[in-house]
């Protein structure tokens, strides 16, 4: 396991009746119990607030990481056990599947519709974008459309070969798990096309992804397919056992297994991130900000660990690729924070690769970090750089990484232990290795990739110099921090140009690296002041 992506917390303990189904609505838990009652639980800290039922839900409210207490009981909510529930947040409706499918208005739970044709239904799925409901009963698949008010209109009714075990909308089609096979049902004309057989040990399980694609399960193996059932990739998502439920939340897949809950990354190679030991879990659903796990008489929630903390954990354990992937999930308003974290991780990843002999890969990470080239050149003691304002003394170089102060520009150490090693012979051997042919060739490729943008900027500043010289003193006060004109005439203009100094540093280092490796640089022209 790599890191903790979720923290487990018990919201509700010792329910007086067995829990048949569960859903969340804002910060509330809707718990359907075996006695036919629907019990509404709220955070204990809010129970003292005597708000009327219409105020039970505030948009944007979320589950809280604190104990929950009973806030309201609706007796006789259902005559038969409720198999499942779903809150349709965009329409403020609660859908419940029992002896039929019923819709209740939230938050007052007023009944607005009961689909008598759904009597005996065992599975359903809701397309929120279009307001379409599909459900299966016996050997029939029915489609209804919400008319936007209190009514539902029947759209289609198709026959299938056997009882549907699992189903999910996929665009305008419906993916069905029937007996031991997966099928795509055309929701317009009812045409069925077979995808592939399911596993032998577990019933078919259809899971929709945020991208619109699907995960279809063969026992403990998840196969990615598109909306038409076509295989998307060779890689598969594998669990330690066959899951009964799989929930997708952001970059993770969370599976309910017989003895625990497993969390895996949705990035290849779909690594196991975390395992949460919770036995006898009967329901696993996604809420607005957590994963809810309901046992027979208690409810736990898996709350996501803040992304920043996950990124720190991953970086510290050397899982740089996963840390960089999580950086992409930081909110848009944190773009500066994301850029800083990404740069820091790229630098640390580069040092790790460099120390382990992957020099070209290390240079790619330095390139991605956009770190100053003098940072990289400080790893090469035999490269003698020109004396300019751009090259500070090695001992005065300050790490640009905001969250990794142990990284020194004069060292490629990955950890405090490595960096503080007193073994001088080991340090000398490392320095010798750095100056090997392979390290220098990697440096040459890195500098060549950086050269175009740096030379382009230097050329642009050179053009500014010519323009300033041509207009004379009329604009002498313009941008005086960049241009310093000599009093000796046009022939002796001295420009304080950071870009041109950087270009001179780059070309000097590139030429020296070429000489040290014997690389062919015929026609190479060094940039610098005349």
What's the pLDDT at 56? 47
Under 8 Å between Cβ of 367 and 450 = yes
Taking only the tens place, the pLDDT of each residue in 329-386 is 888 877 888 898 999 999 999 999 999 989 999 999 999 999 999 999 999 988 888 7
The DSSP H or E segment spanning 304 is strand 299-304
pLDDT > 70: percent of the chain: 79
> Does the structure show a pLDDT above 90 at 33?
yes
Q: How far is CA 381 from CA 348, 390, 519, in A?
A: 20, 17, 19
Supply the mean pLDDT for the chain. 82
Mean pLDDT of the region 120-137: 94
> Does the structure show a pLDDT above 80 at 413?
no
As a whole number of angstroms, the distance between CA 398 and CA 295 comes to 53
> Does the structure show a pLDDT above 50 at 431?
yes
> Does the structure show a pLDDT above 70 at 424?
no
Taking only the tens place, the pLDDT of each residue in 60-102 is 589 999 999 999 999 999 999 999 999 998 899 999 999 999 9
> Does the structure show a pLDDT above 70 at 497?
no
Count of other CB atoms within 10 angstroms of residue 100:
17
What's the pLDDT at 233? 82
Mean pLDDT of the region 14-35: 94
Q: How far is CA 327 from CA 138, 319, 330, 339, 468, in A?
A: 47, 13, 5, 8, 43
What's the pLDDT at 364? 95
Q: Provide CB contacts within 8 A for 413, sequence distance 6+.
A: 351, 355, 406, 407, 419
Count of other CB atoms within 10 angstroms of residue 82:
23
> Does the structure show a pLDDT above 70 at 199?
yes
Alpha-carbon dihedral sign for residues 382, 386, 390, 393: positive
What's the pLDDT at 43? 94
What's the pLDDT at 65? 94
Under 8 Å between Cβ of 40 and 331 = no
Most confident of 28-42, 226-240, 462-476: 28-42
DSSP 14: -
Alpha-carbon dihedral sign for residues 150, 153, 288, 41: positive
Q: pTM score > 0.95 for this model? A: no
Structure tokens belonging to residue 382 = 């035999």
Q: What is the 3-state secondary structure (H, E, C) of 458-523?
A: HHHHHHHHHHHHHHHHHHCCCCCCCEECCCCCHHHCEECCHHHHHHHHHHHHHHHHHHHHCCCCCC
């Amino acid at each position: 396991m790599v890191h903790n992506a979720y923290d487990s917390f018990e919201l509700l303990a010792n329910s007086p009746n067995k829990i048949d189904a569960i859903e969340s609505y804002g910060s509330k838990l809707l718990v359907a119990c075996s006695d036919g009652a629907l019990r509404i639980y709220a955070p204990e800290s809010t129970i003292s607030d005597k708000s009327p039922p219409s105020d039970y839900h505030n948009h944007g409210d979320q589950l809280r990481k604190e104990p929950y207490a009973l806030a309201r009981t609706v007796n006789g909510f259902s005559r038969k056990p409720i198999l499942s529930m779903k809150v349709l947040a965009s329409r403020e409706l609660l859908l419940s599947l029992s002896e039929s499918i019923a819709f209740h208005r939230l938050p007052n739970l007023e009944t607005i519709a009961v689909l008598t044709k759904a009597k005996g239904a065992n599975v359903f799925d809701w397309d929120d974008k279009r307001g379409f409901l599909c459900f299966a009963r016996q050997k029939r698949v029915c489609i209804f459309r919400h008319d936007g008010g209190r009514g539902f209109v029947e759209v289609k009714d198709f026959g299938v070969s056997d009882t549907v075990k699992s189903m999910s909308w996929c665009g305008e089609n419906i993916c069905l798990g029937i007996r031991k096979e997966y099928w795509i049902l055309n929701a317009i004309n009812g045409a069925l096309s077979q995808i592939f057989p399911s596993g032998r040990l577990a019933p078919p399980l259809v899971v929709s992804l945020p991208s619109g694609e699907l995960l279809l399960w063969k026992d403990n193996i998840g196969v990615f397919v598109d909306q038409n059932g076509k295989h998307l990739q060779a890689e598969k998502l594998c669990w330690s056992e066959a899951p009964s439920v799989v929930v997708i939340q952001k970059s993770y897949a969370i599976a309910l297994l017989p003895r625990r809950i497993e969390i895996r990354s949705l990035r290849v190679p779909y690594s196991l991130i975390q395992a949460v030991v919770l036995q006898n879990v009967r329901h696993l659903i996604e809420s607005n900000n957590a994963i809810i796990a309901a046992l027979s008489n208690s409810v736990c929630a898996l709350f996501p660990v803040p992304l920043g903390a996950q990124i720190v954990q991953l970086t510290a354990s050397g899982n740089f690729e996963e840390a960089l992937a999580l950086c992409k999930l930081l909110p848009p308003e944190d773009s500066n924070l994301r850029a800083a974290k990404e740069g820091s991780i790229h630098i640390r990843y580069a040092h790790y690769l460099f120390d382990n002999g992957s020099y070209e890969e290390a240079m790619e990470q330095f390139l991605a970090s956009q770190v100053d080239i003098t940072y990289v050149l400080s790893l090469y003691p035999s490269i003698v750089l020109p004396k300019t304002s751009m090259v500070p003394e090695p001992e005065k170089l300050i790490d640009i990484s905001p969250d990794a102060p142990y990284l020194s520009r004069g060292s490629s150490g990955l950890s405090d232990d490595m960096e503080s090693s007193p073994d001088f012979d080991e340090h000398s051997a490392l320095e010798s290795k750095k100056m090997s042919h392979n390290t220098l060739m990697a440096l040459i490729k890195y500098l060549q990739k950086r050269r175009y943008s740096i030379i382009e900027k230097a050329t642009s500043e050179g053009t500014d110099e010519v323009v300033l010289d041509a207009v004379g003193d009329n604009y002498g006060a313009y941008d005086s921090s960049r241009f310093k004109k000599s009093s000796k005439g046009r022939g002796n203009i001295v420009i304080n140009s950071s870009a041109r100094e950087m270009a001179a540093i780059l070309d000097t280092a590139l030429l020296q690296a070429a000489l040290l490796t014997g690389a062919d640089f015929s026609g190479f022209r060094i940039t610098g002041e005349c």
